[in-house]
Amino acid sequence: MSGNRESVPEGDPAPGWDLPGFGDWLSGRAEATRRAYLSDLGALAEWMSRSGVDAPAGVDRLHLRRYLASLGTRRLARATVARKAAALRCYFAWSVRQGRLVSDPSRSLRAPTGKGRLPRVLSEGEIGALLDRPGASAIDQRDAAALELLYAAGLRVSELCGLDRRGVDLHGRTVTVLGKGGKERRVPIHERAAVALQEWLREGRTTMPGPAQAVFVNQRGSRLGPRDVRRILDRLALSPTHPHALRHTFATHLLDGGADLRVVQELLGHASLATTQIYTHVSKERLRSVYEGTHPRA
């Protein structure tokens, strides 16, 4: 989700749109996706109401084109606008299938592809400064294990937060996580990550209350959440670093080291190789940066 956070509609703020019904239909998707799509449709319904349109039957293609154009004036990232467009296409297709609409005004609607910005990649020095920190408190052990795992296994932050003890194999040095679409995948981890995880589970975790099956917990006695992970990085990183940057860095460093793209796809849990290919562009940008910064005639 983007930095412009929008709350999920409470109840049904736009009765003519049946957002609760749409939310029920989305229940098979990842919770983050469901919440984002409901928020996106709530924002569209509010925008349409200002034009006197209180139900999807009154929406035409021109309305939607104007709405997407209005998003561009808010300086949102193209990936965010693309997600919002995907949400409304999903909603109107659902409305047609439900018999609420005769035709789909969002059909063939174009939106930005989301390829505007390359992911931030941390240098090896930045990774070392972030991970190689002394500290023996329970919080120190938790933070070290969490950050090591994000970089060692390329986990999404939701996968890290949802990790259960049964998914940890310290002897085999693997973790099994639940990814997008409810798909499980087993990912190898290196020895330093396994050691950090072992120290946390055997020492620090025993002193912190929380769900027994959860690997990572916060000081409130609940599972560690995405905001908790963001706060850890805000506190420890030398420069602003989003948790997803560690996943980007994991993939890019593997490719820079000669890993096969399909192996990286499997490790990341990408359904499509096209999604993984963005990291080849990242690596090319890094190679060009190094070349231009070091070649005497560059």
Q: What is each CA distance from 295 to 75, 123, 125, 287, in whole angstroms? A: 37, 19, 21, 12
The CA-based angle 75-113-275, given to 5 degrees, is 125
180 given a catalytic annotation: yes
Residue tagged active-site, from 61, 63, 65, 180: 180
Running DSSP on this structure, what letter comes out for residue 118?
Answer: P
Coil, strand or helix at 99? coil
Exposure on the CB side of residue 213, measured as CA atoms within 13 A: 5
Residue tagged active-site, from 156, 205, 223, 248: 156
Residue tagged active-site, from 35, 83, 205, 270: 270
279 given a catalytic annotation: yes
270 given a catalytic annotation: yes
Cα–Cα distance between 224 and 130 in angstroms, integer?
19
34 given a catalytic annotation: no
Could you give phi then psi for residue 29, rounded to 5 degrees? -90, 170
Residue tagged active-site, from 89, 247, 248, 253: 247
> Which residues belong to the active site?
156, 180, 244, 247, 270, 279
